[in-house]
């Protein structure tokens, strides 16, 4: 399968690989996917008091497109509010990375990871 | 390192390059100054020399497997041979019974052919192999019925390289008067085959897995005892009516020369490939959570199939971009299922997704293997650094107990 230049760039130089302490109240963690499906994405966001995403880190088990999708998302969410971040659509990710149809699920997973992280943050701050 | 040409080819079970000695022989059968005639032309010299070239090739193929040249039927490849053997035997002997036995780890050319026969009213048992990839003979015997007419089991598996005990299986089948077909596409030139002693009725061959050209194969059809087949390709009655179509002289000559070379060089080549395979395994086996798939003892020399846990196969292949390998990962195929062969061994989806098949061959060098070892080690480090599953493993979390958000 031929990869787009952008996928290769994110795969070879992934941005923001790593993680934060998930017990820190300012940290939102979203983990989506399953090993059996060949993709697991863990996205962590560091969110300030105003609900702005200060920093983002990821770890991904998956194909090159899954790694690229999560790497791209960490760049996109930084500086956005959590309400803006959940508006990121898988189609935007797929378009930016020129993903072929069989890899669209990678972009969906990345979108789900943002939503899961934001949901985690909201549940942490409800109590 | 300067003598290494990139990318490095480590996918010899997928196909092999034509040996230059084979290509030279083939080129002599194409142009007007060569052996271009139709081997079926009986009325002139162009036909006679072409027929002679085909006869020599047929003998060369028969010699590698110790068969009679009259037992060799040329086809377009092992897929066609498998189709001809299984459908041909089922259609001819279908009045005696409707039951066929095969194994879940067979090549698709066998499995899909059996599926087709199921649609035509046959009943097929798909045996599970043992976790090492080998067939338990007692389970085979248990699956046999009075109406079983055919057993089809491959000699060497294309993904994991394990060698089935076709001698023992042949005895079991012959005692019960059940026909035995063997897909030997992956074994010629790798495992000695003696069809005088093996109780095999039908055996499929491919040229391009053994340094011959693509587009040509053969089916061994036993004469003693005589096995009958219903033709699947009708026409001019070539190959004793079993497979019509003008003989592709250059392809046949190429296959003959390739099998001739395989006979001459197999012993030395196996020794060299075993050394290379051990060198590769010794170079990576100390990496944590790395597992070999398939039995290591009953296995062809040039195959190493390894699962690198917590690393997904396609991303690993991307990191191994300077080498040609294949993966059991779903992502390398259009379907989203990981390798059905590895799944049939009982591997988890996760380990099947994490598998890489390295197959070495005639032109693989020690320097290439050393280079590959270094690249693999770096790639595993990098990808595990990025893998949430690796972190969980390191924290002592059993991944089977995690509730995953399937999507």
Q: How many CB atoms are located within 10 Å of the residue B27 CB?
A: 13
- Name the least confident of A18-27, A112-121, B94-103, B345-354: B345-354
Are A11 and B336 an interchain contact pair (Cβ–Cβ within 8 Å)? no
Are A38 and B330 an interchain contact pair (Cβ–Cβ within 8 Å)? yes
Q: Which of A7, A66, A77, A106 is catalytic?
A: A106
Whether complex ipTM tops 0.85 = yes
Q: Note the pLDDT tens digit of each residue in B148-180.
A: 999 999 999 999 999 999 999 999 999 999 999
Q: Which residue of A has its CA nearest to B315?
A: A63
Mutate to test the interface with A, among B352, B387, B388, B395 (most CBs of A within 10 A): B388
Q: How do beta strands B202-206 and B179-183 pair? A: parallel
> Which 3 state secondary structure label does DSSP give A12?
helix
Q: Which residue of B has its CA nearest to A113?
A: B405
At B2 the pLDDT is 54
Residue among B310, B313, B407 minimizing CB distance to A32: B407
Q: Note the pLDDT tens digit of each residue in B242-283.
A: 999 999 999 999 999 999 999 999 999 999 999 999 999 999
Q: Is B99 on the interface with A (CB under 8 A)?
A: no
Q: Is B332 on the interface with A (CB under 8 A)?
A: yes
Q: Is the pTM of this model over 0.95?
A: no
Answer yes or no: B331 catalytic.
Answer: yes
At A3 the pLDDT is 87
In angstroms, the separation between the Cα of residue B392 and the nearest Cα of chain A is 11
Please state, rounded to an integer, the average pLDDT across all residues of chain A: 94
Are A61 and B311 an interchain contact pair (Cβ–Cβ within 8 Å)? yes
Q: How confident is the model at residue B321 (pLDDT cuts 50, 70, 90)?
A: confident
Q: Note the pLDDT tens digit of each residue in A31-80.
A: 999 988 889 999 999 999 999 999 999 999 999 999 999 999 999 999 99
Mutate to test the interface with A, among B308, B311, B331 (most CBs of A within 10 A): B331
What residues of chain B lie within 8 A of the CB of A8, using their CB? 318
Q: Helix H segments across chain A? A: 5-12, 64-77, 82-85, 90-97, 104-126
Q: How confident is the model at residue A102 (pLDDT cuts 50, 70, 90)?
A: confident
Q: Which of A123, A126, A88 is nearest to A109 (CA)?
A: A88
At B404 the pLDDT is 83
In angstroms, the separation between the Cα of residue B49 and the nearest Cα of chain A is 45
Residue among B315, B330, B336 minimizing CB distance to A67: B315
Cβ-proximal residues to A80 (8 Å cutoff; 6+ apart), any chain: A52, A53
| DSSP β-bridge partners for residue B356 | B306, B327
Q: Which of B227, B202, B205 is nearest to B216 (CA)?
A: B205
Q: Is B352 on the interface with A (CB under 8 A)?
A: no
Q: Which residue of B has its CA nearest to A102?
A: B334
Mutate to test the interface with A, among B307, B317, B353 (most CBs of A within 10 A): B353
> DSSP state, A37?
G
Question: What does the H/E/C string look like for chain B?
Answer: CCCCCCCEECECCCCCCCCHHHHHHHHCCCCCCCCCCCCCCCCCHHHHHHHHHHHHHHHHHHHHHCCCHHHEEEECCHHHHHHHHHHHHHHHHCCCCCEEEEECCCCHHHHHHHHHHHHCCCEEEEECCCCCCCCCHHHHHHHCCCCEEEEECCCECCCCCEECCHHHHHHHHHHCCCEEEEECCCCCCCCCCCCCCCCCCEEEEECCCCCCCCCCEEEEECCCCCCCCCCCCCCCCCHHHCCCCCCCHHHHHHHHHHHHHHHHHHHHHHHHHHHHHHHHHHHHCCCCCEEECCCCCCECCCEEEEEECCCCHHHHHHHCCCEECEECCHHHCCCCCCCHHHHHCCCCHHHHHCEEEEECCCCCCHHHHHHHHHHHHHHHHHHHHCCHHHHHHHCCCCHHHCCCECC
Are B386 and A67 an interchain contact pair (Cβ–Cβ within 8 Å)? yes
Mean pLDDT of B230-235: 96
At B81 the pLDDT is 98
Answer yes or no: A63 catalytic.
Answer: no
Q: Which residue of A has its CA nearest to B343?
A: A36
Q: How confident is the model at residue B328 (pLDDT cuts 50, 70, 90)?
A: confident
Assess whether the previous peptide bond of B7 is cis (omega < 30° from 0). yes
Q: How confident is the model at residue B28 (pLDDT cuts 50, 70, 90)?
A: very high
> What percent of chain B has pLDDT above 70?
97
Mean pLDDT of B357-382: 97
Residue among B338, B348, B388 minimizing CB distance to A59: B388
């Amino acid at each position: 399968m031929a990869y787009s230049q952008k996928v290769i760039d994110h795969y070879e130089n992934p941005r923001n690989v790593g993680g934060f302490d998930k017990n820190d109240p300012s940290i939102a963690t979203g983990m989506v996917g399953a090993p059996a499906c060949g993709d697991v994405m863990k996205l962590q966001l560091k969110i300030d008091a105003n609900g702005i995403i200060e920093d983002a880190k990821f770890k991904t088990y998956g194909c090159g497109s899954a790694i690229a999708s999560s790497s791209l998302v960490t760049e996109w969410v930084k500086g956005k509010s959590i309400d803006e971040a959940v508006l990121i659509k898988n189609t935007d990710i797929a378009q930016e990375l020129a993903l072929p149809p069989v890899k669209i699920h990678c972009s969906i997973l990345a979108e789900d990871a943002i939503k899961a992280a934001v949901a985690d943050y909201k549940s942490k701050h409800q109590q | 390192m300067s003598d290494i040409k990139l990318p490095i080819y480590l996918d010899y079970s997928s196909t092999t390059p034509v040996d230059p000695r084979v290509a030279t022989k083939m080129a002599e059968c194409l142009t007007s100054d060569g052996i271009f005639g139709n081997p079926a032309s009986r009325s002139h010299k162009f036909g006679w020399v072409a027929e002679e070239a085909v006869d020599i090739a047929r003998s060369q193929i028969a010699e590698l497997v110790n068969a009679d040249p009259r037992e060799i039927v040329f086809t377009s490849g092992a897929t066609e041979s498998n189709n001809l053997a299984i459908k041909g035997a089922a259609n001819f002997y279908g009045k005696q019974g409707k039951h066929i036995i095969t194994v879940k780890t067979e090549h698709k050319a066998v499995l899909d052919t059996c599926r087709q026969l199921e649609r035509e009213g046959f009943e097929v048992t798909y045996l599970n192999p043992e976790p090492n990839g080998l067939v338990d003979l007692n389970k085979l015997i248990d699956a046999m019925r009075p109406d079983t007419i055919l057993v089809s089991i491959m000699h060497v598996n294309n993904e994991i390289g394990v060698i089935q005990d076709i001698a023992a299986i042949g005895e079991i089948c012959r005692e019960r008067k059940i026909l035995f077909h063997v897909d030997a596409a992956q074994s010629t030139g790798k495992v000695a085959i003696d069809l005088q002693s093996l109780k095999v009725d039908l055996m499929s061959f491919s040229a391009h897995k053994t340094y011959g050209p693509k587009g040509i194969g053969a089916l061994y059809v036993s004469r003693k005892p005589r096995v009958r087949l219903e033709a699947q390709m009708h026409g001019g009655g070539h190959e004793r009516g079993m497979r019509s179509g003008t003989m592709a002289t250059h392809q046949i000559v190429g296959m003959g020369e390739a099998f001739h070379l395989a006979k001459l060089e197999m012993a030395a080549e196996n020794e060299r490939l075993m050394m290379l395979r051990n060198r590769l395994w010794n170079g990576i086996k100390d990496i944590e959570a790395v597992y070999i798939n398939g039995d290591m003892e009953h296995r062809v020399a040039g195959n190493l199939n390894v699962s690198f846990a917590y690393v997904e196969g396609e991303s690993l292949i991307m990191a191994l971009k300077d080498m040609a390998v294949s993966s059991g990962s779903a992502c390398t195929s259009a379907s989203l299922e990981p390798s059905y062969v590895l799944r049939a061994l009982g591997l988890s989806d996760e380990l099947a997704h994490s598998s890489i098949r390295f197959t070495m061959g005639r032109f693989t060098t020690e320097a290439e293997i050393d280079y590959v070892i270094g690249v693999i080690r770096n790639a595993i480090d990098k990808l595990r650094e990025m893998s949430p599953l690796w972190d969980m493993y390191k924290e002592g979390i059993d991944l089977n107990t995690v509730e995953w958000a399937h999507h």
